[in-house]
């Protein structure tokens, strides 16, 4: 049995307990909130970090979700405090929510540190909110549980199911190719997002919540429950009850977020055919726990992990199907032999204990171990003279003929250049070409937006072309697909070899051998490097100033340098 804290050992007791002037202030102001000693005395104070906003449809239900967490906290004898933090609304925030992931992480960390709280429940779902909240909470060092917001209902257009993002890209290409009408396109707009909740493809949101569950940071099965299913409210209340217990038992994720837990998370990422974005986020999350995840770890684990979830964009089904097929526990059970099953989780049980009885109910949606979609995971890490610090490709979601491809580069120096010249008949893009987009990385864009699924020229779409080899230092949406090599590091804006690519250079991709090669001599590259000049910063004030000075490259997780784990916890604030 774990030793339980005494009430005087609660962190919040330092605010409410002492008989001094400062604590008088805290207590009298708590009374102003309508609270009394029966609310705080000897009770764990639980912060509910809520990323609700009017402009975040993925988190539209978070006010009610928070109420359900509060109910659970109260049932277990704790005191809930809802604290709003920044909401990163993937679709609306420009140029990209990635620019603000670290901002939310800082806010979450500081909100927990400065307030009289003993533990936290984190409400997140939409892409960057999950890694951001976890990065912040890990750095704050308090016990916490993550409540994933849940996927939205499957989209529907006539007799076709529609997946977030994925089917928007797909039908946009069909519209441009003249295969569907404007009216069809409007109907698709009407039916692709039918309820609150995050994207219901295996995009970044579903990938990150699956990873979070595998890390042991949610209750078992939590990440697969659809947002609008009543079981989701009950999971939130259970999480509220659990965090109160965890505070008393001092069960803190910092005790179990070790290298093995992060390797388990990579197994889950590969087995679900997860988003490429997960790589950047996992490196950053692990970094906050003092754990290094070199890109090679992803490749090593990818090569031994079967892909089992047949979910869009790499497959056919959607998250609702995944839930009813058994959800994440059923999938993890199939790969238990390559998981460290003894890793602890927030319910006080090990990962193996949590998945002991998990079963698959639909073996088309979740394949069994002896009948995988592929024997390898969905993502590969590439190396070569064009990307000395790595690049990633989701080879499970591209036409296989591009796994080995050699062709001439067509270079766009930035996104504006791409937009201006994409459909220019004088730009010689053919089925053999390698489209190159520069200045789209963490510093170049800035913020490493999801521009990596470069659009195809209209004339190629009309000719029936649906894929092409594309290279960038950007990311792409987890709902995207195609032969898109991403996260090229170092990025072009810092003068990496990727900055030196010119029109007509031959580029060779070899996914089976994990190489990406610029077939230009070292002498020629040295000459080009000598002539290369960095672009002037377009903006250099405010938050962007901080971002541009402190962000790291993709292979380092794009965290800020000053937020990395140092081995010395930030001191508790003085209560005076
Ligand atoms: Fe929020 Fe996709 S837009 S998860
Ligand atoms: Mg996304």
For the domain covering 380-531, report its CATH number: 3.50.30.80
Beta carbons of 158 and 190 less than 8 angstroms apart: no
Q: What is the DSSP letter of 350?
A: B
Residue 108: phi and psi, rounded to 5, are: -60, -45
Integer angstrom CA distances of residue 42 from 163, 240, 319, 358: 48, 17, 41, 38
Q: What is the pLDDT of residue 568?
A: 87
Q: Which ipTM value was assigned to this complex? A: 0.94
- Alpha-helix runs per DSSP H in 89-203: 101-114, 129-140, 166-176, 182-191
Dist. CA 20–CA 420, nearest whole Å: 67
Give the closest residue (by CA) to ligand 1 atom 1. Answer: 126
DSSP 556: G
User: At 59, is the secondary structure helix, strand, or coil?
Assistant: helix
Low-confidence residues in the chain, pLDDT < 70: 1-2
**Cα separation values, 463 from 171, 176, 422, 455, 458, Å:** 16, 11, 15, 15, 9
Strands of 45-50's sheet, edge to edge? 79-84, 45-50, 119-124, 144-148
Strands 119-124 and 144-148, sheet pairing: parallel
Q: Nearest ligand to the C-alpha of residue 276?
A: 2
Helix 277-288 to helix 204-214 angle (10° resolution) is 40
Q: Which residues contact 183 (CB under 8 A, 6 or more apart)?
A: none
State residue 73's pLDDT score.
98
The beta strand positions in 448-548, using DSSP E, are 469-472, 484-486, 506-510, 515-518
Cβ neighbours for 25, distance < 8 A, ≥ 6 positions apart: none
Q: How far away, in angstroms, is 129 Cα from ligand 2 center?
A: 11
CATH class of 7-28+43-153+195-354: alpha beta
C-alpha 464 – ligand 2 centre gap (Å): 26
Q: In the beta sheet, which residues pair with residue 372?
A: none
| Amino acid 464: pLDDT | 93
Per-residue model confidence (pLDDT) at position 565: 92
Looking at residue 246, its pLDDT comes to: 98
Q: 122 near 134, Cβ under 8 Å?
A: yes
Ligand 1 mutation pick, 169, 199, 212, max ligand atoms within 8 A of CB: 199
| Closest-approaching ligand to the CA atom of 319 | 1
Ligand nearest the Cα atom of residue 88: 1
Residues 6+ apart with CB under 8 A from 568: none
Distance 145 CA to ligand 1 centre (A): 21
C-alpha 53 to ligand 1 mean position (Å): 13
Q: Where are the domains of the chain?
A: 7-28+43-153+195-354, 157-191, 380-531
Question: Which residues contact ligand 1 via a Cβ below 6 A?
Answer: 58, 90-91, 126-127, 164, 198-199, 203, 205
- Asked if residues 225 and 323 have their Cβ atoms less than 8 Å apart, the reply is yes
Q: Which residues, in sequence order, are bridge partners of residue 162?
A: 155
d(CA 388, CA 381): 11
Q: What is the SS3 assignment for 382?
A: strand
List beta partners, residue 469: 434
How many whole angstroms separate alpha carbon 481 and alpha carbon 452? 10
Return the C-alpha torsion angle 355, 360, 365, 366, nearest 10.
50
Which atom of ligand 1 sits closest to the CA of residue 127?
Answer: 4
Q: 199 alpha carbon to ligand 1 midpoint, in Å?
A: 5
DSSP letter for each residue of 392-428: EE-GGGS-GGGSEEEEEEEEESSHHHHHHHTT-TTS-
């Amino acid at each position: 049995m774990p030793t339980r804290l005494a009430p005087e050992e609660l962190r919040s007791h330092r605010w409410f307990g002492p008989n001094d002037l400062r604590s008088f202030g805290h207590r009298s102001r708590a009374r102003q909130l309508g609270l009394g000693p029966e609310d705080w005395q000897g009770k764990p104070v639980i912060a509910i970090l809520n990323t609700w906003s009017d402009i975040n449809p993925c988190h539209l239900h978070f006010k009610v979700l928070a109420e359900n967490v509060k109910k659970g906290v109260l049932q277990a004898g704790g005191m809930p405090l809802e604290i709003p933090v920044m909401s990163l609304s993937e679709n609306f925030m420009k140029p990209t929510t990635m620019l603000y992931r670290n901002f939310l992480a800082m806010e979450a960390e500081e909100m927990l540190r400065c307030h009289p709280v003993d533990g936290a429940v984190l409400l997140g779902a939409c892409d960057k909110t999950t890694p951001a909240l976890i990065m912040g909470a890990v750095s704050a060092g308090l016990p916490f549980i993550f409540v994933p917001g849940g996927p939205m209902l499957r989209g529907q257009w006539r007799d076709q199911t529609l997946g977030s993002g994925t089917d928007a890209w797909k039908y946009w290409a069909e519209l441009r190719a003249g295969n569907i009408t404007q009216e069809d396109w409007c109907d698709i707009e009407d039916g692709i997002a039918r309820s609150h909740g995050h994207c219901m493809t295996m995009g970044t949101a579903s990938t990150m919540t699956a990873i979070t569950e595998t890390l042991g940071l949610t209750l078992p099965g939590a990440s697969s429950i659809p947002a609008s299913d009543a079981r989701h409210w009950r999971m939130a209340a259970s999480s509220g009850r659990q965090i109160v217990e965890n505070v008393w038992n001092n069960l803190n994720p910092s005790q179990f977020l070790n290298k093995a837990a992060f390797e388990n998370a990579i197994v889950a990422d590969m087995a679900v055919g997860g988003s490429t974005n997960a790589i950047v986020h996992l490196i950053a999350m692990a970094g906050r726990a003092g754990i290094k995840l070199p890109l090679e770890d992803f490749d090593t684990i990818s090569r031994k992990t079967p892909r089992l979830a047949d979910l869009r964009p790499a497959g056919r089904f959607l998250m609702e199907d995944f839930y009813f097929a058994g959800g994440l526990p059923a999938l993890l059970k199939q790969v238990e032999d390559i998981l460290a099953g003894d890793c602890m989780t927030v319910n006080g049980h090990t990962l193996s204990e949590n998945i002991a009885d998990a079963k698959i109910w639909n073996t088309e949606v979740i394949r069994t171990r002896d009948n995988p979609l592929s024997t390898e995971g969905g993502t590969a890490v590439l190396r070569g003279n064009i990307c000395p610090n790595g690049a990633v490709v989701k080879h499970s979601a591209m036409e296989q003929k591009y796994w080995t491809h050699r062709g001439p580069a067509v270079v766009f120096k930035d996104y504006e250049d791409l937009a201006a010249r994409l459909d220019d008949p004088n730009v010689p893009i053919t089925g053999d070409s390698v489209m190159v987009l520069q200045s789209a990385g963490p510093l170049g864009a800035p913020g490493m937006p999801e521009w990596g699924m470069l659009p195809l020229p209209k004339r190629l779409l009309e000719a029936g072309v649906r894929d092409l080899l594309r290279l960038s230092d950007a990311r792409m949406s987890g709902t995207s697909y195609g032969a898109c090599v991403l996260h090229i590091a170092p990025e072009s804006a810092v003068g990496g070899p990727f900055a030196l690519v010119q029109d007509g250079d031959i580029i060779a991709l070899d996914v089976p051998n994990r190489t990406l090669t610029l077939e230009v001599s070292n002498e020629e590259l040295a000459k080009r490097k000598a002539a290369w000049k960095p672009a002037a910063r377009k903006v250099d004030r405010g938050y962007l100033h901080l971002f541009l000075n402190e962000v790291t490259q993709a292979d380092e997780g794009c965290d800020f340098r000053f937020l990395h784990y140092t081995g010395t916890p930030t001191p508790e604030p003085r209560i005076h």
